[in-house]
Amino acid sequence: MARWSDRDDAYEAAHAGDPGPDQPSAPGRRVIEYEEPTPPRSFGASLGWAVAGTIVPGLGLTRTRWRVFGWVMFGLAVALLVAGGALARLAPTMALAALVLPNMLTVAWVAIVVFGVLWVGSIAATHLMLRPAEPRWWQRLLGSVVVGLLAAVVAVPSFAGAKAIHETSLLIDQVFGHHDGAPQDKDDEPFGTVTDPWANKPRLNVLVLGGDAGADRTGTRTDTVILASIDTRSGDTVLFSLPRQTQRIPFPAGSKLAEVFPNGFTSGRANDQAYALNAIYESVPQMAPDAIPAGVEDPGAEALKLGVGAALGLKVDYYAMVNMEGFVEFINALGGITVNINVPVPVGGKNPTVVGGRDGFPPDRWLVPGPNQHLNGEDALWFARGRYRTDDYARMSRQRCVIQAVVQQANPTNVLTNYEALAKAGREIVSSDVPNRRLPGMVDLALRVKDGTMTSVSFENDKDGFYTSNPDWELLRQQVQRALNPPPPTPSPSATPVETGTPQPTVQPTPAASGDPSASPSATPQAEPSSVVDECAYHPAPYPGEDG
């Protein structure tokens, strides 16, 4: 209710009190009372503005008594949309990096829940305040149904998004959240700056382990040991694979482990599989618990980091361990992977030598050769693990192809589509010592790896000077350095001269598809490891085992 007068306050002040004898009587004051105009109530308009408020938060409320609140919601939504779009366009890496900060994620999912509740409330309030004061029964019923559907349109994606962000927060906390105090992270090594998180770290080395634990086995065997050495500038990655049966793994000079195992991890007997590479994870923490640096969460993984790093002559920065028992769920959550299958791959089965020289067990079926074969989780697991009538080196090659497929095919579309399942699978099968404060930089690096090249170096027994029973570690370290820093090609005499002072790109020669290092122009006998750059390409070969 408002009051209005046709005489102003100045006149009233000047003629306050009774009029004097020489002054005329003041004219009577006319006062009019009125109500502020309100929008006309209409059932159709109430539904229309409720729809408008569903499309644009707060827009419907601007037609009600709560117009100020409506404009605040509208302005906030537009500001967030513009800011998010600008950040995604101008600094996409920074936007992605923000999504792996635990505190940011907590704020985000709480804010989404609160804003979603307010948004749903604004839709209902818009309809109730704009519909007729005494709606008919069918208008009440129809309005309730329509508002309920509109509320669901907002609530379902809002709460699904909040849940996904909450799942991410749990994933980061469970996989990466407990390592800030670990010894390997106390050096406070400045890898880079906010704008370039890898400015001072030209190469990052991550040890990828495949744990073979299961209900039918005691302990964990790391049958898959691959060191991924990543060029942080280009994202180009070299995968170094060591056979699981490798003996005499050394430890860094001066370390407590080197004091316990001065001749490497060995019993002194040749081919003692209790002292093979895949036994370090389980055995070393039991045999020398005091030699493992204090405070690490996974002593077995720490022992492998130190041993593989010393063997290859590289500092291993972090590890990531995948439990193969949960690998099926992970690949299924990703939507499967597509690989090239060059020879039939067994699903199940055991070789005769595995069961004491008897006939063994043939596989249940075979993965059929062919290009671009899409595999679900179970088939992808057997593609990586199948060993019937084949050897460990073929299996190691397929494992590297699985890693390459996951890196290449984990695009934003299928990751977002299967996000909840991926987050759940990730918590169950992945462990790592990457601290969560490194995650923004790791996101930036992952994008570079996805766009970079990935090559493989496999060390095989009795090839190029490498022997699993007694490795020449110095020779192997030289091979590692040649793979990371290949020499430039020798210019051909017929090459066109270039202007002096102009830098020329370094080109790494590509070995032949057969994997024979001698086929490469830069290869020298006993100096190059068994390297297959295109091992994951489709090039069918005769199958050495039983016909599938």
The pairing of strands 530-531 and 2-5 is: unpaired
Tens of pLDDT, residue by residue over 280-317, are 999 999 999 999 988 888 999 999 999 999 999 999 99
- How does residue 92 score in pLDDT terms, banded at 50, 70 and 90? low
Tens of pLDDT, residue by residue over 56-70, are 999 989 988 899 999
- Give me the pLDDT at residue 265, please: 94
358: tokens are: 């008897």
Measured between alpha carbons, how far is 459 from 212 in angstroms, rounded to an integer?
Answer: 21
319: tokens are: 């590890």
Does residue 334 contact residue 340 with C-beta atoms inside 8 Å?
no
Q: Across residues 386-410, what is the average pLDDT?
A: 81
508: tokens are: 């790494």
Tens of pLDDT, residue by residue over 4-44, are 444 445 545 555 555 555 555 555 555 555 555 555 678 88
Phi, psi for 24 (deg, rounded to 5): -70, 155
Measured between alpha carbons, how far is 357 from 213 in angstroms, rounded to an integer?
Answer: 25
Neighbours of 183 (CB within 10 A): 12
Tens of pLDDT, residue by residue over 171-202, are 777 677 555 444 444 445 678 777 778 888 99
pTM, to two decimals: 0.68
Measured between alpha carbons, how far is 52 from 126 in angstroms, rounded to an integer?
Answer: 10
Q: Which tops the pLDDT comparison, 351 or 36?
A: 351
Tens of pLDDT, residue by residue over 244-268, are 899 999 999 999 999 999 999 998 8
Tens of pLDDT, residue by residue over 486-527, are 877 666 554 444 443 333 333 333 333 333 333 333 333 344
From the list 212, 268, 276, the residue with the least C-alpha distance to 244 is 276
- Give me the pLDDT at residue 313, please: 95
What residues have CB less than 8 Å from 524, skipping those under 6 apart? none
Does residue 384 contact residue 395 with C-beta atoms inside 8 Å?
yes
Is pLDDT at 478 greater than 60 in this prediction? Answer: yes
Q: How far is CA 185 from CA 18, 181, 225, in A?
A: 89, 7, 22
From the list 306, 310, 278, the residue with the least C-alpha distance to 291 is 306
Tens of pLDDT, residue by residue over 535-544, are 788 877 655 4
Beta bridge partners of 375: 337
